[in-house]
Amino acid sequence: MLTPITQNEWSRRHANHLLQRAGFGGTPEERTALYELGRDQGIGAAVASLVDDLEDWSSLPFPSWSTEQDPNGDLWDGSSERRRSFVNWYMNLLIEGKPLAAKLFKFLVDHLPIDMGTIPGEARFAYFLRFYDLLRKHAGGSGEFGNFRTLINSVSWSEAMIRMLDLQESSANKINENFGRELLELFTLGVDGGYTEDDVGAAAEAFTGRRLYRIQSPHPDAGTVNSKYLAPEGVPAGSAYQDESKQDLLPKSFLGFDRMPGGGSIVTGDHIIELIFADIQTAKHLSWKLWRYFVSPNPSEALQQEMALRLRNNYDYELRPLMKDIFLSQEFYASEVMGDQIKDASDYYVGMLKQLEIPLPGDRSTYTINERLGYNPIYPPNIAGWPEPNADGNEWMAAGSLLTRLNLSSVWVERNFYALNDWGMKQDLEDYPDIDWERILPREMRSPDMFPLLIEKLMDRFLPLCPLRKSQIRRLHDHYRRTSERMDTLEATKELVRLLMALPEYQMQ
């Protein structure tokens, strides 16, 4: 299990696969560089170049509207513009962040989802920015960040999650079990993770009394907050605190334990989290999720067990050492794994922009595109978050979203800015830069006589893991020859790219 592959197995395909899964893919040059690094300095060096490349996000600040304002939270949600801007900010982090940091960030956003509708207007963006900042730092792995247990503990104190899962309304005498249940089921032990309804109840009791200070927004629609509910001097507006008068301080039983390993009673949320993470099931569930997200849908029981033991016993829930083991393993590079994952919406969208070497478009366009692809990160489908890739009936392949994918290449390649039937998007894209076609396919390679070389080059850029079939190549060759006579070779090249990026094979990574 998790045996590293040998040096002589390393190939361009391996490098393509690694960069695609540990990040969002890249240009032919980036993939070649990774391949050569692995070839010349060893596979370990190639994997390390991704896993040890930590990210503190300092070069990617918060959106301008959030920093121009008082950091104590004049972030009133007055219009949909800011929501769009927020989503674009997030998508830009996925594009600009270091590959693994960006991919892990998306993993965390997808699995610890917050629904913007559950957070009131005056706190919405303050809470979202703080929460996403927490997640991106843990994904980046810099400094004290990168540990899953620490992350979950911080999440249990995060304003956004406290608010969304009703923790601020849960008191010793009036329990709201929403957070307690999801903590066990979704964030740690997993469905059927060996806990009982009584354990849900005990967890709910232990987390009682967490409260949020209110935020006084200067916005005229925000109303006035009594100053006794505001955070004291020096404490961030709206932040979380423990109200002990509302806390259940009785000893509890949890997961079959009546006492903590050290002998004390089980009382607080911190105790609950400690016991959850001592349970191998938590490591197993997280390993299962990571494998499904980064590798393939059905990790064997033995593989899960092996990952779980390493994650808990060897790495104490540090994420990156486990990622390194995964990215070096034979299982990760199995032939039935490489190129056999269906891209989710942002794999598809971010990857597409990287391949075409074009920037993220404006807020309006990205918001519309995300929605049509079925991925609006601020409105998750449910508290379980976004679906993982899976082969037998992938939820990302709903016919309407799929047609959006097919049409998006027309937007970029043909500058068909009305392809999604959205007038705002068309206006948004008026000044959008054109694709550098010289980079995609230099003029001297566009001759129909050079078709074999030409299609090879395009496949390398757009279909590095899932090449065309012979019948497709023949048909495209025929078409290319005729189109370049009738129109010109640039138009013919554009048609090829427009079609390649709509093929079923293009949906694979």
Partner 1 sequence: MIDVSRRDFIKKSAWGAATSLTLPAFLHQTLFQLDARAQSLPPQGGEGPILVILELGGGNDTLNTVIPYTNSTYLGARPTIGLSTEHGVLQIGQGQSVTGASEQLALHPNLANLHQLWQEGDLAIVNGVGYPNPNLSHFTSFDYWHSAQPNTEAKDGWIGRYFSNQCSGCDATQAIELATRSTSAFKAPEGASPSVSFRDPEQYGWRDLELVGRDIPLESLYRELIGLDHRVDDGIDLSSEALSFVQRSTHNAMISARNVREASETGGEMLVEDWPNNGLGRDMNRIARLIKGGMNTSIYYVHQNGYDTHNNQSGGNPLSGRHFDLLNTLNGALGAFVQEMKLSGFWDRMLILTFSEFGRKVIENGSRGTDHGAAESLFVMGGAVNGGQFYGKYPDLAEDARVKRDSMDYNIDFRTIYRSVLENWMQTPASAMADIFPNQPAEFNPIAFV
Q: Return the residues of window 364-393 that contact partner 1 according to CB under 8 A.
A: 371-374, 381-384, 387, 391-393
Establish if 34 lies at the interface with partner 1 (CB under 8 A).
no
| DSSP sequence for 323-371 | HHHHHHBTTTT-TTTTT-SB--HHHHHHHHHHHHT-----HHHHHHHHH
Establish if 406 lies at the interface with partner 1 (CB under 8 A).
yes
Letter for the amino acid at 501?
M
Distance of alpha carbon 509 from alpha carbon 506, whole angstroms: 8
Is residue 282 within 8 A of residue 288, CB to CB? The reply is: no
Establish if 498 lies at the interface with partner 1 (CB under 8 A).
yes
Taking CB under 8 A as the criterion, which residues in 2-31 touch partner 1? none
Distance of alpha carbon 229 from alpha carbon 216, whole angstroms: 9
Q: Which stretch binds partner 1 (CB under 8 A): 21-29, 140-148, 352-360, 487-495?
A: 487-495
**Closest distance to partner 1 from the beta carbon of 196 (Å):** 11
State which residue, 12 or 479, has the beta carbon closest to partner 1: 479
**Closest distance to partner 1 from the beta carbon of 438 (Å):** 21
Cα–Cα distances in angstroms (integers) from residue 246 to residues 201, 208, 385, 444, 463, in the given order: 16, 7, 30, 74, 57
Establish if 244 lies at the interface with partner 1 (CB under 8 A).
no
Residue from 92, 178, 242, 330 touching partner 1 (CB under 8 A): that is 178
**Closest distance to partner 1 from the beta carbon of 339 (Å):** 8
Distance of alpha carbon 402 from alpha carbon 408, whole angstroms: 10
Question: Nearest to residue 240, comparing CAs of 163, 184, 181?
Answer: 163
Taking CB under 8 A as the criterion, which residues in 466-485 touch partner 1? 466, 469, 471-472, 475-476, 479, 482-483
How many residues bind partner 1 (CB under 8 A)? The answer is 76
Residue 26: partners with Cβ closer than 8 Å, 6 or more residues away: 19, 34, 99, 354
Residue from 16, 404, 489, 493 touching partner 1 (CB under 8 A): that is 404
DSSP, collapsed to helix, strand or coil, labels residue 43 as: helix
**Closest distance to partner 1 from the beta carbon of 185 (Å):** 5
Taking CB under 8 A as the criterion, which residues in 433-452 touch partner 1? none
Q: Within a 13 Å sphere around the CA of 267, how many CA atoms are in the beta-carbon half?
A: 10
Taking CB under 8 A as the criterion, which residues in 44-73 touch partner 1? none
Q: Which stretch binds partner 1 (CB under 8 A): 14-22, 226-234, 266-274, 490-498?
A: 490-498
Establish if 240 lies at the interface with partner 1 (CB under 8 A).
no
Taking CB under 8 A as the criterion, which residues in 106-165 touch partner 1? 165
- One character per residue 320-359, x = contact with partner 1 (rule: CB under 8 A): ----------------x---xxx-----------------
Q: Which stretch binds partner 1 (CB under 8 A): 95-103, 149-157, 247-255, 464-472?
A: 464-472
- One character per residue 188-227, x = contact with partner 1 (rule: CB under 8 A): ---xx----xx-xx--------------------------
**Closest distance to partner 1 from the beta carbon of 173 (Å):** 8
Residue from 148, 288, 348, 396 touching partner 1 (CB under 8 A): that is 396
Cα–Cα distances in angstroms (integers) from residue 147 to residues 227, 287, 312, in the given order: 37, 14, 11
Question: Nearest to residue 128, comparing CAs of 163, 100, 93, 104?
Answer: 163
Cα–Cα distances in angstroms (integers) from residue 391 to residues 385, 387, 388, 481, in the given order: 18, 12, 10, 37
**Closest distance to partner 1 from the beta carbon of 206 (Å):** 16
| DSSP sequence for 421-432 | S-HHHHHHTTTP
Establish if 175 lies at the interface with partner 1 (CB under 8 A).
yes
**Closest distance to partner 1 from the beta carbon of 247 (Å):** 14
Copy the structure tokens of residue 246: 């509302």
Question: Nearest to residue 380, comparing CAs of 128, 130, 152, 176?
Answer: 128
